[in-house]
Amino acid sequence: MSYLETCDTMLNHPNPFNMDIEEANALRLAAIQGSFEHHYKNNAVYRAFCDKFGVKPDDIRTFDDITKIALITSDFFKQVSAYKEEDLFKIISIPPEKIVTYFTTSGTTGKPSKYPFDRNSLARLNKSNAQILKCLADISVDDKFMFLTPDLKHTVTGLVHGMYQSIETCIGKERAQEQVRFAQKIDDGGEAHYQLDDLLNIMAGGGIVHLFGPPFAYKDIAEMLLKSRQIIKMAEKSKAFMSGGWKGRQDAMITPKELGQLINGAFGIEERNIRDGLGLTDVFSWLLECEKKRKHVPPWMHVSARKESDSLKDLEKTMPKNQEGIMAFLTPIIESYPAFLTTGDLGALTTDFDAKCECGRIGPTVEYRRRSGDPRGCALEELKKMQTSAFVFVEKERYEGHVKTT
Amino acid sequence: MDSRGYFIPAGIGFKKENTFFRNKYGEVEIEVCSANRQLVEECIRKIILARENCLLRTSIKKIVQIIDKASSNLSDEKYSLRKEAEDVLPVTTGLSPQMLSLGMDALTTTFRKENMLNMLYSELGDPKYLDGFRKSKAGESKALGKELIVNVFGSGGVPGLQVMGIVNALLMKSAVFSKPDSGEPVLPSIYARAIADVDPRLADAIALFPWKGGDPEFADLEACVFSERKENEAVVVFGSDETIRNVKKKVSPECAFIAYPPRTGLIMVAKEKLTKNNAKNLAERMAWDICMYDQKACFSPQYVYLEEGGKVSPEEFAGILSKEMDRMGEKFPVGELTDIAKTRINERRRTYELQEIIGSAKIFNPKGGLVIFERNRALETPITYRTIHVMSVNILSEVLGLIKPFEKHVQTVGIEAGEEEFREFSDILSLRGDVSRITTPGNMYRFPPSAHHDGRKNFDGFIKWVDRIA
């Protein structure tokens, strides 16, 4: 079986988060081995980079060897995208004519990063995100969704488009058109307004309604509802999904506990059904919380916390469970570029690869802690850096190979 | 106990605790005091009293002599407090013993009589205005420093800054209460003790001890330190934008508030100066600016811009700079790297290893540092710890556009150019952002105490002039 077939085996599994642990890890290893070999053989730049670390495909024999794979920094993509976009083609692992689109990350500041994609990788990513949603959120085809965001025409963020696509994949295109609504309207002046009436109407229709949006949108709407003394009692299995953090709204930031209480008070959604998602923008995925508030890593991904060090080789060493380290993300489902990345963020594994979470699903699970801070010094601590928890779905740029067609 | 992280005026009772600092240079036990509101109140009361009974009645000449003697003692390797500093400070500051020793020499040279008098003349015209009414253009004038100056030091500043805060206050005959960096409270304590060794009565106008800033446990203490300050007092903050913001919120509106936010430096070199004859010397001077205090000071250059067209290409010069930084690394090794620093350096090096492979950069690894010749002129956040970005420009004036995104943070610029070009860029840069110091490479880390600090006089905002017009 090719490594891509191995990926598809995992992606098409009826419930990948309930696979046999050994089987899941064996497939994970096989897929990553194959993916590493693919990028090593087909990507001269990445191969030269691996040679600096002295790591070759033959060196990845056991599960523990996965951490030897040379990690690219998300800063590299940022730089190349910002300062010499044509160099992006130097980091692709497929013939340039297979590139069909670029996704661009964006944040509140700084310059965006662009990532090249082929059709197959796009399809697998969509399947991945849909599986994550389906298996961790227990959604069914009759469920309705209310996005606390502008609609697809008025936003380009992956937060919205990616989630919509995942829902489409889960419940079907036609149902998605019927059962998904958006709570923010953009007026002629470009200002966004929450439409509480739409929200209340969809609730009044009965049935399960899942909410989705960034945390500040929940806070805004909850406060509006509480102020106008309109409390909604959502159906028992309704969930509140959030992602994207407090980008651009740090002034509004409250603790997760406070936000949970607000959501419970305004929408009647229980704590166990409030689910945060960790956006992994560099691999265009997200890790969703289970009912035990742990973010699950699917079998087609490898996430670990690595030991901080100033030695290039030392990023191979992983931190034990619950101990903080530099997060490293590897996924074999992207063919176009080596999706073996470190972002400089700090986190920890909260369930090991060979264990199960309290929810009953297989591990691992991870916890994002923070951005690695600034070194000591009264010299300039930080220029504004781009925060990449949301990605921009830029399909308006279509490519055939490296030639833009639209 | 190896040292202390506090200085409390005599006669005040307080609880002591021991804390340990540990790094590759060893482990030290530092005695700290248990901080609480009552201690702050008593200290402030005592130091203000000491100001009235001693400082105000001591001539400025005598105050300068006392501080000069303290500095002179500290310059002696055999002096017990100097030995204590050399033993303990590499562990608390993270600077290598060699760099620390260099820093102590610089500090004890800075706060000497001649330098202090130069500063006083520069600030006031005549230091004796601090002693009483003297003839002036307004008739007769007298200069009065604030009754109390509260200094707050955020983490990571260069050690000498905390001493500067104490010395400047004493020179203005102000009582001084300092909240040192809780990661390094030892050096200001050592200096205060050195002053006490010379004149304990004068030292009674100093109090300092650390606590965890912003921690709710110290809310009451901070109310006393900040919110209850009066019109004839001042709060000075050296720290990050966040520290400044958080403290400013708490300071009473009547009290003067002065902030020194994070700053950075850069170097510009004209093509005429990139010659075979000059390159090595220039690189050596630059290496001093970069390596001093491990590039963590406000004046430390984080970027170097080199004009194309010289006899030595910018990329070649980056290699020469790396060799000189290597030499500095041998003589004055880089200090202990924090875990965060290690992470960021690793991330940066990894990014540029890739950039080098695709032809967009060239990296050099001098001992204890990283020199990146960056072909795309990417603006990267400074990491410090001797990580320097070197870039080329077609003409030197291009630098002005490149620094626009961060010019508001630039304090010090080193320019290596012909005299006319040096003056021309000095004029232009003086109008940009917060640029307040322009010099030549090799002099970015050394400046007299009489130099303005961050664009203002050292005593600005602290002195009240009283004119007697008969």
Length of chain A: 406
Q: Do the Cβ atoms of A376 and B376 come within 8 Å?
A: no
Cα Rg, chain A, nearest whole Å: 21
Q: What amino acid is encoded at A2 in this protein?
A: S
Which tens digits make up the pLDDT trace of A298-326? 999 999 999 877 666 667 889 999 999 99
Q: How far is CA B465 from CA A188, B61, B134, B233, in A?
A: 59, 19, 11, 15
Q: How far is CA B301 from CA B154, B287, B297, B345, B401, in A?
A: 21, 10, 9, 17, 18
Q: Please tell me the predicted confidence (pLDDT) of residue A246.
A: 81
Tell me the pLDDT band of A189, cut-offs 50, 70 and 90: confident
**Degrees (nearest 5) of the Cα angle B444, B448, B450?**
125
Please provide the DSSP assignment of B276-319 as one string.
Answer: HHHHHHHHHHHHHHHHGGGG-STT-EEEEEEETTSSS-HHHHHH
Q: Please tell me the predicted confidence (pLDDT) of residue A50.
A: 96
Q: Please tell me the predicted confidence (pLDDT) of residue A313.
A: 65
- A 379-398 residues with CB below 8 A of B? 379-383, 385
B155 CB within 8 Å of a chain A CB: yes
Which tens digits make up the pLDDT trace of B15-66? 999 999 999 999 999 999 999 999 999 999 999 999 999 999 999 999 999 9
Q: Do the Cβ atoms of B354 and A385 come within 8 Å?
A: no
B273: nearest Cα among B312, B305, B303, B302? B312
Q: Do the Cβ atoms of B349 and A312 come within 8 Å?
A: yes
Q: Do the Cβ atoms of A379 and B344 come within 8 Å?
A: no
pLDDT higher than threshold 90 for residue B343:
no
In whole angstroms, give the CA distance from residue B403 to residue B452: 23
Q: Which positions in chain B touch A377 (Cβ < 8 Å)?
A: 156-157, 294-297, 300, 384-385
Q: Do the Cβ atoms of A76 and B355 come within 8 Å?
A: yes
Query: Across residues B199-208, what is the average pLDDT?
Result: 96
Look up residue B72 and give its two tokens: 């002179």
Query: Measured between CA atoms, how close is B250 to chain A, in angstroms?
Result: 18
**Degrees (nearest 5) of the Cα angle A385, A259, A256?**
60
Look up residue B254 and give its two tokens: 């009547």
Q: What is the pTM of this model?
A: 0.88
Poorest-pLDDT segment among A235-249, A362-376, B445-459: A362-376
A374: nearest Cα among B1, B78, B154, B130? B154
CATH of domain B3-262: 3.40.605.10
Q: Which positions in chain B touch A84 (Cβ < 8 Å)?
A: 360, 376
| Range among A163-172, A318-327, B14-23, B280-289 with highest mean pLDDT value | B280-289
Q: Please tell me the predicted confidence (pLDDT) of residue B422.
A: 97
In whole angstroms, give the CA distance from residue B338 to residue B346: 12
B207 CB within 8 Å of a chain A CB: no
Q: Which positions in chain A touch B382 (Cβ < 8 Å)?
A: 379-381, 383
Q: Which positions in chain A touch B157 (Cβ < 8 Å)?
A: 377-378
Considering only alpha carbons, which residue of chain A is nearest residue B296?
Answer: A377
pLDDT higher than threshold 80 for residue A333:
yes
Is the CB of residue A210 less than 8 Å from the CB of residue A134?
Answer: no
Look up residue B215 and give its two tokens: 């921690």
Residue spans of the domains in chain B: they are 3-262, 264-439
pLDDT higher than threshold 50 for residue B338:
yes
Look up residue B217 and give its two tokens: 């446990």
Is the CB of residue A21 less than 8 Å from the CB of residue A29?
Answer: no
**Cβ neighbours of A138 (radius 10 Å):** 14
Which tens digits make up the pLDDT trace of A42-74? 999 999 999 998 999 999 999 999 999 999 998
Tell me the pLDDT band of A199, cut-offs 50, 70 and 90: confident
pLDDT higher than threshold 90 for residue A344:
no
| Most B CBs within 10 Å, among A311, A323, A378, A381, to test the B interface | A378
Query: Across residues A235-239, what is the average pLDDT?
Result: 89
The CATH class of B264-439 is alpha beta
Look up residue A245 and give its two tokens: 């953090």
**Which residues, in sequence order, are bridge partners of residue B398?**
none
**Which residues, in sequence order, are bridge partners of residue B391?**
B305
B350 CB within 8 Å of a chain A CB: yes
A82 CB within 8 Å of a chain B CB: yes
| Most A CBs within 10 Å, among B339, B340, B392, to test the A interface | B339
Q: In what order do the strands lie in the sheet with A114-118?
A: A114-118, A99-106, A390-392
Q: Please tell me the predicted confidence (pLDDT) of residue A110.
A: 56
A86 CB within 8 Å of a chain B CB: no
B358 CB within 8 Å of a chain A CB: yes
> Percent of chain A having pLDDT more than 70?
88
Q: Please tell me the predicted confidence (pLDDT) of residue A399.
A: 40
pLDDT higher than threshold 60 for residue A37:
yes
ipTM confidence:
0.85
Q: In what order do the strands lie in the sheet with B233-238?
A: B206-208, B175-179, B148-153, B233-238, B256-260
- Number of A:B CB contacts under 8 A? 150
- A 199-218 residues with CB below 8 A of B? none
Poorest-pLDDT segment among A29-43, A107-121, B135-149: A107-121
Under DSSP, the state recorded for A159 is H
Q: Do the Cβ atoms of A378 and B337 come within 8 Å?
A: no
In whole angstroms, give the CA distance from residue A149 to residue A162: 13
Tell me the pLDDT band of A106, cut-offs 50, 70 and 90: low
Average pLDDT of chain B? 94
| Range among A187-191, A194-198, A270-274 with highest mean pLDDT value | A270-274
Q: Please tell me the predicted confidence (pLDDT) of residue B192.
A: 97
Q: Please tell me the predicted confidence (pLDDT) of residue B107.
A: 92
Look up residue B340 and give its two tokens: 């965060």
Look up residue B329 and give its two tokens: 């690394």
Contacts of A330 (CB under 8 A, 6+ apart): A32, A35, A66, A69, A301, A302, A303, A339, A340, A341
Q: Please tell me the predicted confidence (pLDDT) of residue A40.
A: 98
pLDDT higher than threshold 70 for residue A174:
yes
In whole angstroms, give the CA distance from residue B51 to residue B57: 8
Q: Do the Cβ atoms of B354 and A374 come within 8 Å?
A: no
Q: Please tell me the predicted confidence (pLDDT) of residue A397.
A: 41
- B 16-75 residues with CB below 8 A of A? none
- B 77-106 residues with CB below 8 A of A? 94
Under DSSP, the state recorded for B271 is G
Query: Across residues B280-296, what is the average pLDDT?
Result: 96
> Percent of chain B having pLDDT more than 70?
100
- B 229-268 residues with CB below 8 A of A? 238-240, 262-265
Q: Which positions in chain B touch A91 (Cβ < 8 Å)?
A: 354, 358
Average pLDDT of chain A? 85
In whole angstroms, give the CA distance from residue A166 to residue A124: 11
B3-262 and B264-439, same CATH topology: no
Which tens digits make up the pLDDT trace of A358-393? 999 998 999 988 776 654 333 333 333 322 233 443
Is A371 or B255 the better-scoring residue by pLDDT?
B255
pLDDT higher than threshold 80 for residue A270:
yes
Q: Do the Cβ atoms of B154 and A378 come within 8 Å?
A: yes
B227 CB within 8 Å of a chain A CB: no
Query: Across residues B89-107, what is the average pLDDT?
Result: 94
Q: Do the Cβ atoms of A378 and B376 come within 8 Å?
A: no
SS3 A70: coil
In whole angstroms, give the CA distance from residue A199 to residue A387: 30
